[in-house]
Amino acid sequence: MKKILLALVLALVSMPLFAGEPPGVGADAPSFKLQDQNGDWHASEDYRGQWLAVYFYPKDDTPGCTKEACNFRDNIYAFKAIGAAVVGVSVDDVESHKEFSDKYKLPFTLLADEDHAMAAAYGVLKDYKLVKIASRQSFLVDPDGKIAKHYAKVDPDTHTEEVLADIKAFMAQAESG
């Protein structure tokens, strides 16, 4: 009986807890003001009037996170061509983001959510008791600052193309409607 109880306690302690629920489609995107990999400040208001892909990722310079970041890097001109911005967010610090960005020549903003406030506001903060990380999820924010789409499950290999296609579809829908 003690072994079963111990196993249950260990399972509960190792299970991640999420901070809040993600904002739903149509809701205001949570506001933020954070530093990027260069120490420059960025606020949600800076992105009004354009489409914004906000992608959360667990850790700088890890395999899946690197794959996802490099895919956004490789498609950045397609985002810029349609007037969309890309912002990556993790709970790593500015220095870690700088090293990651420089190593892989990432031409977009990486926000350092060191106090976990943005990840918590978007409902993607995983709390493992000993460590907190942002789970791999993304949000499309429309030019009015509303959540247009939430990607709860993200494949680092194909996510960039999915986001680009969705922005283009939303733009076409707005033009025809």
The residues annotated as belonging to the active site are 65
Q: Note whether 118 and 32 are within 8 A (CB).
A: yes
User: HSE of 81 in the Cβ direction (CA atoms, 13 Å)?
Assistant: 7
Q: Can you tell me the distance from the alpha carbon of 57 to that of 64, in angstroms, rounded to the nearest whole number?
A: 9
| Distance (Å, whole) CA 118 – CA 57 | 12
- Residue 22 CA, chain-centre distance (Å), reads 12
Q: Which residue has the tokens 């959510």?
A: 113
